[in-house]
Chain A
């Protein structure tokens, strides 16, 4: 089985910051907006290097989204950033009308997504955002898995024509994908090749899925781990091909079951080639305060739960 090496823990938001910094230096069309969380979003370097292209919006996210839409008309490529909760549920209608229906070329930079926002608690932890964003026509939804991939995804988002929701996180997590990788929006990445079960994971759960695959290998089960960094448009071809080969599926995401990757993939499979699907996600609950690691364990978002889900999916095969 392919082995992945953690080259040192890093936060994915810093990957976004690095990508934005590079874009700032290479593409004059790129502008950035933030709602009083510039440091948290790692947008400081861009703001410092390009004060004319950085717009502090204050704690006024609705305004920020539509200002970004207005800026895009003249050909600018705006990245509008805040915590994921505050650039989704708080401003859903602004995104719907000003970005998606308008088809404006705005990139929403959503940091501190999911439960690993941690100690601030449920008011700040959004686990519904993937569902909300993927329901919107014209929206592209990207949830990269580590620092290197987030940096690459940021650069790819700028080159993509149309609205993008770019989701990343707060905590330091393993960095294991290649530096300066090519990031292809809408193309799933097969991390390990396997025969018995397919594990479709996104975001922070990709690393956990790789750990789970190692555990499963010890139990004699060959797992195929696929990084679904682009949730919309979903690489249905890759999903169907892997599921057809293994006949059992596990999905893993830092999100509610409702509206998430698991439901999405289960839907695709049920309409094409039905097979057992086990979903590793949070079932209809708000989060709570705690360290990111403690919360992942508490809410069942770790390799241990992926292993259990895989065993169950395999056992359900006819």
Chain B
């Protein structure tokens, strides 16, 4: 039986990590990192079969997570550090010269837990398809997970990959969209509206589920449903309805915090709203 309170506590600490990393760096992308925090926490601390022990980029014998929306790097680094891939103290080096924690995820400096660089958008879904096909060829029963942004879904390559995955029946793939409706220039609807996203994925031949991306119980139920839908000839997409900047009242629901760091004073105000559960790094 999964302890929902425990996952909620971890998510709380992950949000603190994100805010502190971005504030210390003086730049970065807190908004999307915080909208995806709850379900990515669930993924790493409950859903995925993964372990830092003997980790390698081959992903052999492991479930794999590919972050397509690379600007959510603070989130990825926090869950990796909290999972034991590297010391949490290293989170303090985010975006510093010589750090393994590059502004966007990199494999150039050998950071454990990162399979592929990302940052230039729209590419991770294709990468995940390839990784999933590799597992299929090797007869592995592990699953490949990938996270895209909703704004990122304006990239044409996302839909190339959507067609590819359906055509090749890549059914050991579970994709997620952080559906927070915000991007740099404004709301997604005002920039380039995605229309009926759920119908689009279904029309592209995918199983598609919508869920509340901040309700931990709903998140776990949704992953369970996604897993039961997988391996039946279709790739699976979960559209997580989320709020950009979730967890801090003055950051929530606005594109203003997509790619801006809080000032130290703002960070203090934000941290006052989020419980320290595992100890700050």
The A-contacting residues of B in range 37-78, CB under 8 angstroms, are 57-60, 64, 66
Chain B proximity of A233: nearest CB distance (Å): 19
Q: In the complex, what residues of B have CB within 8 A of residue A94's CB? A: 123, 126, 157
Q: How far is the CA of A31 from the CA of B129 in the complex (A)?
A: 14
Name which of A62-70, A245-253, A283-291 contacts chain B: A62-70
Check B168–A73 contact: CB distance below 8 A.
no
Q: Indicate if the CB atoms of B130 and A60 lie closer than 8 Å.
A: no
Can you name 23 A-B pairs with beta carbons within 8 Å? A53-B137, A62-B157, A63-B157, A66-B124, A66-B157, A67-B126, A67-B161, A68-B130, A69-B126, A69-B130, A70-B127, A72-B134, A73-B116, A74-B131, A74-B134, A74-B138, A75-B58, A76-B134, A97-B119, A97-B120, A97-B123, A101-B106, A101-B107
Q: Which residue in chain B gives the minimum CB-CB distance to A35?
A: B160
Q: Which residue of B lies closest to A29 (CB)?
A: B137
Q: Do A67 and B137 form a contact, CB below 8 Å, given A74-B58, A97-B118, A101-B108? A: no
Q: How far is the CA of A96 from the CA of B116 in the complex (A)?
A: 12
Are A71 and B160 touching (Cβ within 8 A)? Answer: no
Say yes or no: A57 contacts B116, CB within 8 Å. Answer: no
CB pair B127–A67 under 8 Å, yes or no, is yes
**Structural contact, A58 and B127, CB atoms closer than 8 A:** no
Asked whether A52 is an interface residue with its Cβ less than 8 Å from the other chain, the reply is yes
Residue of A whose beta carbon sits closest to that of B119: A97
B 112-126 to A, binary, CB cutoff 8 A, 1 in contact else 0? 000111111011101
Residue of chain A at shortest CB distance from B122: A62
Q: Which residues in A have some Cβ–Cβ distance to B below 8 Å?
A: 31, 52-53, 55, 57-58, 60, 62-76, 78, 93-94, 96-98, 101-104
Please tell me if B156 contacts chain A, counting CB pairs below 8 Å.
yes
* Known A73-B58, A102-B116, A102-B117: A55·B163 in contact at CB below 8 Å: no
State the Cβ distance, B277 to closest chain A Cβ, in Å.
33
Interface residues, chain B, CB within 8 Å of chain A?
Answer: 57-60, 64, 66, 106-108, 115-120, 122-124, 126-135, 137-138, 156-157, 160-161, 163-164, 167-168
Across the interface, name the chain B residue whose C-beta is closest to A101: B117
A30 to chain B, nearest CB (A): 11
- In the complex, A69 Cα to B132 Cα: how many Å? 11
A223 and B262 CA atoms in complex are apart in Å by 67
In Å, the complex CA distance between A52 and B133 comes to 10
- A57 and B127 form a contact (CB under 8 A): no
Are the CB atoms of B118 and A72 closer together than 8 Å? no
Contact B130 A102 (CB under 8 A): no
Interchain nearest-CB distance for B144 vs A (Å): 8
Distance, CA A102 to CA B110, complexed state (A): 11
Given A55-B133, A58-B164, A102-B107, verify A74-B126 contact (CB < 8 Å). Answer: no
Contact of A73 with B57 in the complex, beta carbons under 8 Å: yes
> Are B123's CB and A73's CB within 8 A?
no
Cα separation A34 to B60 with both chains bound (whole Å): 26
| Distance A104 CA – B82 CA, assembled complex (angstroms) | 27
Instruction: Report whether B107 and A103 are in contact in the complex, using a CB–CB cutoff of 8 Å.
Output: yes
B119 contacts across to A, CB distance below 8 A: 97
Q: How far is the CB of A267 from chain B (nearest CB, A)?
A: 26
| Contact A60 to B164, CB < 8 A, known contacts A73-B130, A74-B58, A103-B108 | yes
A72 near B107 with CB under 8 A, answer: no
Cα A53 to Cα B138 in complex, Å, equals: 11
For A76, what are the chain B residues with a Cβ–Cβ distance below 8 Å?
134, 137
Interchain CB contact (< 8 A) of B126 among A53, A66, A75: A66
Docked pose: A145 CA to B118 CA in angstroms: 36
Q: CB distance B129 to A70 under 8 Å?
A: yes
A94 to B115, CA, bound (A): 16
B107–A67 touching, CB < 8 Å: no
Q: Which residues of A have CB within 8 Å of B128?
A: 70
Q: How far is the CA of A22 from the CA of B12 in the complex (A)?
A: 55
